[in-house]
Amino acid sequence: MTAPRATYLDWNATAPVRPEVAAAVADALELGGNPSSVHARGRAARQALNAARASVARLVNAAPDEVVFTSGGTEANNFVLRTFPGRRLVVSAIEHDSVRAAAPEAAIVAVGRDGLADLDALDRMLAADRHPALVSLMLANNETGAIQNLAAAARIAHRAGALIHSDAIQAAGKIAVDFRSLGVDAMTLSAHKIGGPMGVGAAILRGGVEARPLVLGGGQERRLRAGTENLPGIVGFGVAARLAGAGIASYDGVARLRDLAERRLLAAAPDAIVFSGAAPRLPNTLCIAMPHVAAATQVIALDLAGVMVSAGSACSSGKVARSHVLDAMGVASEDARCAIRISLGWGTGAAEIDHLVTAWTALYARTRASAA
């Protein structure tokens, strides 16, 4: 039996490692020096580390000395949420689990049915309690792709004397992200979302913002995260950041493919529901429900047909769980349980969209026939 051809449409979970990144990681493994050592190999390692830091900073228009490398986006989010003791936490209802779990006591900012944070509610919440706050609002949602009005949220936060952090992990590399013009105090990134290696991320802290160390025991990363840096991973992150920055314009084509997929899926399944379709969205993300067909059933059926998608976030140990994002948007539970996420990337072409539509249409026809 011939295996179905593979179509990967789960780029929001992880992007395939770029060949240039893999080569750079291999070279860094051969380098063999500790960036904290003062001898020749140590200096070479330090130079590679600094070059990568500059590339990551350039991707989001930050200064290199504002970048603190971590083991990934989850650690970076935990670092920021836990580094300002004495500040009450205010987070949006659609944040990633790594923010929600790090701030279980946080006040929650509601979102509308479009998936956009209610900034008037944020303004009222901050005005009602003048105790210093830290606000966390992601730039773009990992499930629906909805892009928040982060600059406006930052103005509201600062007017109330609050700091503001943004998880920009899904946005970086897909849309232009400008740390300076957005006006945030902290931002978090992850390498493997932009074609870099897994296990490396960054927290960006605006100059002048005082942070408490995440890990103690050494002077690395401005004494904010002790431990010998993951040089191969960081070098790969730097190369991925450079390539992602150069490739932003290519996402116009990705957006056209996403829109084509949306039109064709809705034509094949007229009762399907697109979430955050009227909001500004990442150019690569489509969250759609096939009514009366559970997300787990869709993911498995599409996988058997060679099409790889996901149900919501991929950060739940492989589980297909109910989406807190769709719940927060007020989506009916019977529709939310049928939602899948289709996410494209720079390697997606028209053939992948054809494959998706064919598999989706076949599944839709089977489920409707069995219900008849």
Clarify whether 315 is annotated catalytic. yes
* Catalytic residue of the set 266, 315, 322, 361: 315
Listed in sequence order, the residues at least 6 apart from 348 whose beta carbon sits closer than 8 Å to its beta carbon are 9, 11, 254, 257, 284
**Helix ranges, 193-340 (H):** 231-246, 251-268, 295-304, 324-328, 333-336
Whose tokens are 């074609």? That residue is: 195
The HSE-up count of residue 369 (CA atoms within 13 Å, CB side) is 6
Two structure tokens written together for 219 = 């002077």
Whose tokens are 């069995």? That residue is: 370
Across the beta sheet with 285-289, the strand order is 273-274, 285-289, 339-343
Compute the distance between CA of residue 359 and CA of residue 269 in angstroms, rounded to an integer: 12
Compute the distance between CA of residue 162 and CA of residue 159 in angstroms, rounded to an integer: 7
C-alpha distance from residue 363 to each of 59, 262, 297, 301, 367 (Å) = 40, 16, 10, 7, 6
Question: Cβ-count burial of 22 within 10 angstroms (0-12 exposed, 13-18 middle, 19+ buried)?
Answer: middle
Quickly count helices (H) and strands (E) in the chain: 13, 12
Q: Report the catalytic residues.
A: 315
